[in-house]
């Protein structure tokens, strides 16, 4: 195994759910994502399946606005955000309606993508942005943990020293 292949094997990509009741569009998105080296992908035809699998902690969910009669995209979005507000949702819709886009954004979607000729390009760009943002958040958390450890690690030494001073 070369160094390059080891680096690629260690590289983690985002865990992506695709929720769309149109099997052709759902598989097209999955195929395009796989062609762009995204490998951790699960697909669902109804919102209920997505909700039942949120315990798997996806990073990104591509969610169709118009699903089946039992649960539409907005209802699924509400449940996703209630479960974990940090999951980034990209709302997909074949409707070019400003009201739907605005409602989606108000409810916490990362972005709204109309299903058209350039949709896949937009999806790939958005996923790239989300990945960069998530990496920055992880780095920030690591830095905070190091600073807390440095602060309290030093405090531990002082407390131990004081303990021995008062003990003897």
168 within a domain of the structure (yes/no): no
**17 within 8 A of 88, measured Cβ to Cβ:** no
SS3 content of the chain, % helix, strand, coil (to 5): 60, 15, 25
**54 within 8 A of 76, measured Cβ to Cβ:** no
pLDDT confidence of residue 51: 95
Q: Is 28 exposed, middle or buried (0-12, 13-18, 19+ CB in 10 A)?
A: middle
104 within a domain of the structure (yes/no): yes
159 within a domain of the structure (yes/no): no
95 within a domain of the structure (yes/no): yes
162 within a domain of the structure (yes/no): no
85 within a domain of the structure (yes/no): yes
Number of Cβ within a 10 Å radius of residue 33: 23
145 within a domain of the structure (yes/no): no
pLDDT confidence of residue 66: 86
63 within a domain of the structure (yes/no): yes
CATH number at residue 29: 3.40.50.2300
Count up the domains in the chain and report the number. 1
- By residue count, the chain amounts to 168
Domain that holds residue 132: 11-137
List the pLDDT tens digit at each of the 168 positions of the chain.
Answer: 444 444 444 446 899 999 999 999 999 999 999 999 999 999 999 999 999 999 999 999 999 998 877 788 899 999 999 999 999 999 998 877 777 788 888 888 999 999 999 999 999 999 999 999 888 888 877 776 666 556 555 566 666 666 667 766
């Amino acid at each position: 195994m070369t160094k390059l292949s080891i680096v690629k094997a260690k590289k983690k990509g985002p865990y992506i759910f695709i929720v769309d009741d149109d099997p052709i569009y759902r598989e097209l998105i999955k195929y395009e994502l796989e062609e762009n080296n995204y490998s951790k992908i699960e697909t669902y035809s109804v919102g209920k399946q997505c909700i039942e699998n949120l315990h798997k902690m996806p990073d990104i969910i591509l969610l169709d606005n118009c699903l089946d009669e039992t649960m539409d995209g907005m209802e699924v979005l509400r449940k996703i955000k209630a479960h974990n507000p940090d999951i980034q949702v990209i709302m997909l819709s074949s409707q070019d309606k400003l009201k739907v886009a605005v409602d989606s954004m108000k409810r916490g979607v990362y972005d709204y993508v109309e299903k058209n000729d350039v949709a896949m390009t937009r999806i790939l760009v958005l996923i790239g942005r989300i990945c960069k943002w998530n990496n920055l958040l992880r780095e920030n958390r690591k830095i905070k943990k190091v600073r807390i450890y440095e602060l309290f690690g030093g405090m531990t030494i002082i407390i131990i020293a004081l303990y021995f001073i008062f003990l003897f």
